[in-house]
Amino acid sequence: MAGDRRSRAGDSGRARSPKNGRSERPFDVWLNRQLHTMYDDIAREPIPREVVEMIERDARAAQRQADPDAKATGADEVPRPPAPGENDQG
């Protein structure tokens, strides 16, 4: 009986999250919705080319540091699409 009381006390006033089965407080649900409303459009924007290149350079440097005997041939480079206006014939 004491165990029943403990399990029920933790669920009072909370909504069940369908994604992970956790209990969420109403404030957490509200905050999650507000943040999605404010930032979902920004999160869908493409990552700027310069940032992608910086990440790729860092990944290559980390790979070379982890394997100093490997030659840098450029084969590990990921091809990138041209930036807007980069291939324009003008």
Query: Residue 10 has what pLDDT?
Result: 47
Cα separation, 90 vs 82, in Å, equals: 16
Give me the pLDDT at residue 4, please.
Answer: 47
Position 40 scores a pLDDT of 96
How far, in Å, CA of 79 to CA of 77, rounded? 6
- Output the pLDDT for position 21: 57
Helix runs in 1-90, H state only: 2-9, 26-44, 49-66
Tokens (6 digits) for 2:
């004491």
pLDDT at 86: 62
Type of residue at 88: D
Q: What is the pLDDT of residue 23?
A: 72
Tell me the pTM. 0.40
pLDDT along the chain (90 residues), means of 10: 46 53 85 96 96 97 85 55 59
Lookup result for tokens 């089965």 = 21
